[in-house]
Amino acid sequence: MSTTPDRKIIDIINEKKAAGVKTSVSLEYFPPRTDTGVKNLHDRMERMKGALSPLFTDMTWGAGGSTADLSLDLALHMQKTGHISNLHMTCTNLGDEVDPKKAIHEALQAALDGGIRNIVALRGDPPAGEEEWKVTEGGFACALDLVKYMRESFGDQFGISVAGYPEGHPNAISEVADPSTLTDAEKGRCSTLDGKTFCCLDADYKKEMDYLKEKVDAGSDLIITQMFFDVEVFKTFVKDCRTWGINCPVVPGLMCINAYAGFAKMAKFCKSRVPKDLQEKMDSIKDDSVAVKEFGIEYGTTVCTDLIDSGLIEVLHFYTLNLEKVVYGVTDNLGFSEGALAMVNEKDAASMVAKGSAWARVGDEVTCAQGKGIVEDLKSDGAAVIVIKKEGKDDVKVTVAKGDYKKVF
């Protein structure tokens, strides 16, 4: 059990770089919904720490602050059991009738007192039933505010990571009516979803990069990117960072492909660029869960090899989805682990449902009085526009009030 404070991630990266270590691995988990899930996650984190010796380990913070207490508890558990704990924290209220800045300060102080020395400063996703993120009265408006507050209130006691978006933040990505008008740079990061083209246009991308520069200049040590499937997009992003004078490490966030539904949902939610060959392959095996995981290992290995060969990275950051098979398959192939895949135990996969995820997002399957369907849109009051599919009949679109529909798992 750890009795000393963690080191800062940036110091470890710099130390390994000086020692000639080219690439390391880091892992990310989310808080499970049940006590059984938490216990199983404890076991998984211990197994994966032993197999991979991750440079650091992230614990996410639920949308709207929905998992604040559990996220902190799990991050402290990681610190006590030998991980370099990197706790996500968002600009959200941590409870009803609570001063948001006071709540954030207390959470940061608790992390500090528990030996945690690394924080990922994020704006965060909207809370349950809401599609748009809104500033909590008296709280922080953006991740930049949180970075500034941490440096003003805690000095250099924390290492701070911030998010980077190689394709642009989803809120900065818009539908393109005429793709022929796109510039070469825009074509390189645009995506096609349901026959429509989406892109973070050059003017918006510039705003994104200017804002990222502000976050780094305010005291951030490194950038962890949102998931991507096209390595060229990441390479361009890193080069753009250097052009903007952003010289800190840029850590690629890698979503492991574990299931077709999860792949499709996240690609749509993030408006991610999916290479044509990847989409075609996933479509061809979507009904074979074993083949999807096997391909997830193959594709993940290809992506990671390309990233390592680029010479642009120090760390490969795996979004584990609280599972281990695909991660182990990739790390075995790359030589970061040996024989880990043969020891996989995912019998507890059903317990790895995220706390705070009972509410639905666009693209999720839900049930309501009218039947089972897919959420097409969410209103500001939490009502959902649901497309009900009727076998042999035309789809039916209904609007259902918040609380009258339930997410299907």
Q: Which residues are catalytic?
A: 28
And the tokens for 154? Answer: 């805690």
Relative to beta strand 85-90, strand 250-251 is: unpaired
Q: Could you tell me the CA-to-CA distances from 27 to 23, 52, 262, 327, 365 in Å, in that order?
A: 14, 9, 18, 9, 28
Q: For 312-359, give the DSSP string.
A: --SEEEEE-TT--HHHHHHHHHHTSSSS-GGG---TTGGG-PBTT-SS
- Distance (Å, whole) CA 173 – CA 324: 32
Residue 389, amino acid: K
Q: Are 335 and 272 in contact (CB under 8 A)?
A: no
CA atoms within 13 A on the CB side of 191: 25
Residue 335 falls in which region: left (phi positive, over 0), alpha (psi -120 to 50) or beta? left
Q: 93-114 as b/e, with b when 16 or more CB fall inside 10 Å?
A: bbeeeebbbebbeebbebbeeb
Which residues are CB-contacts of 68 (< 8 A; sequence separation ≥ 6)? 61, 62, 92, 94, 95, 103, 107
Q: Are 12 and 84 in contact (CB under 8 A)?
A: yes
